Amino acid sequence: MTASFDAGQIAAVRNNAQTQSGTAELDPERIDVFLRASLSGLSGSMLLERVTGGQSNPTFFVTYSNRRLVLRKQPAGEILASAHAVDREYRVLSALERSKIPLPRVLLFYPDRDVVGTPFYVMERVEGRVFHEGALPGVAAADRRSMYLSMAGTLARLHRVDWNAAGLADYGKPGGYFDRQIKRWTRQWELSKTREIDEIEQIAVWLRANVPDSDETTICHGDFRIGNLMFHPQEPRVIAILDWELSTLGHPLADAAYSCLAWHTLPEWYGGIRGLDLRSLGIPSQEEYLACYYETAKTNARVSAFHIIFSLFRFAIILEGIAARAKSGNAAADNAEAVGSLSLAYARRAAELLAETK
């Protein structure tokens, strides 16, 4: 549902909110009052905690004695047009609620700025494990393999959802995905770049000249990687796909290739697995991972060098946007400047792969 907030009607609700570090920009009393008026049955004091690790939409745990919630909002300050679209996140999560895709259950969306300073939505908190390193530290080797294959199967099942039947026919434009995306991310680069990176300019030219003929359309998550998945507390399977900010209707191989970037990037580059002993870790090769995806998706389409290079190009520009927000003091995480500096590394890796295709 889309919530409404009449401060006059609920001003009498008493606040017992508690906060932890990282929530200074929010008014916990106002959040508590709003949630008690919007969701029935909340009891006990409210504990507000910032969720660390994300570079996108600021996210907070909101905990009551009888209910555990998550609040996700836009960053404060000026943002690029179409970026940080929490309304789109809420919409796609709502639309997929009746599917068998593992998702957190959304509860409300609030479009105004009088509660937390930006639009936001609230969802149920899912209990599980989130890993920000592709090596999956602390996990048994056999479970690592199962977790990667669960990741592949989960993405394939998302791509098989009937987006028209789900009410998402206008969630994006069918067809022409890569042409639009190359234009979009080139434009984002011009708006957010903090320095010149020649490799990005060169790759943009190559991508425009080498778009594949295939024009399939599915629901695309847009940021499908290990760090945006929640795994069962003990079992090696995905129980929730998180962070839908970049979702749209698009080409499934864009998602599939993007989910493979860990095999092309180093551990210090956002938790990649390139250079690690994958066999001893129990992590499947990219080929094994994609074979599982293809089988579950029931597709004859195949990820090519174009799709991997496009994904590296796109993520380099996303990282540069993080660097730009850090420079403006509008970043979602304390390490945004360091993470944003990786845009050059991703661009150079894309250039290396491009050189290998010639």
- Distance (Å) of CA 213 to CA 178, 210, 251: 10, 9, 11
- Tens of pLDDT along 307-328? 999 999 999 998 888 877 777 6
Please measure the distance between the N-terminal and C-terminal CA atoms of the chain and give it in whole angstroms.
52
- Res 192: pLDDT: 84
The Cα–Cα gap between 349 and 351 comes to 5
33 confidence band (pLDDT: 50, 70, 90): very high
Residue 217's nearest CA partner among 174, 155, 162, 167 is 174
Locate all alpha helices (DSSP H) within the chain, ordered by sequence.
7-10, 28-38, 86-95, 141-159, 177-192, 198-209, 252-258, 278-281, 286-297, 305-328, 336-340, 343-357
Residue keyed to tokens 């030219």: 205
- Res 219: pLDDT: 98
Residues written for the chain: 358
Q: Answer whether residue 82 shows pLDDT above 70.
A: no
pTM of the entire predicted model: 0.88
Lowest mean pLDDT among 50-64, 135-149, 297-311: 50-64
Which domains are assigned to the chain?
7-124 (3.30.200.20), 141-357 (3.90.1200.10)
- Tens of pLDDT along 261-302? 999 999 998 899 999 999 999 999 999 999 999 999 999 999
Q: Which residue has the higher pLDDT, 11 or 221?
A: 221
The Cα–Cα gap between 221 and 225 comes to 10
- Res 335: pLDDT: 53
- Res 328: pLDDT: 63
Structure tokens at 353: 């792969």
Contact 310, 207 (CB under 8 A): yes
Across the chain, mean pLDDT equals 89
- Distance (Å) of CA 230 to CA 5, 51, 62, 151: 32, 14, 18, 10
Residue 59's nearest CA partner among 46, 78, 74, 47 is 74
Q: State which H helix or E strand residue 73 sits in.
A: strand 68-73
Q: Answer whether residue 9 shows pLDDT above 80.
A: no
Contact 157, 149 (CB under 8 A): no
Q: Answer whether residue 126 shows pLDDT above 60.
A: yes
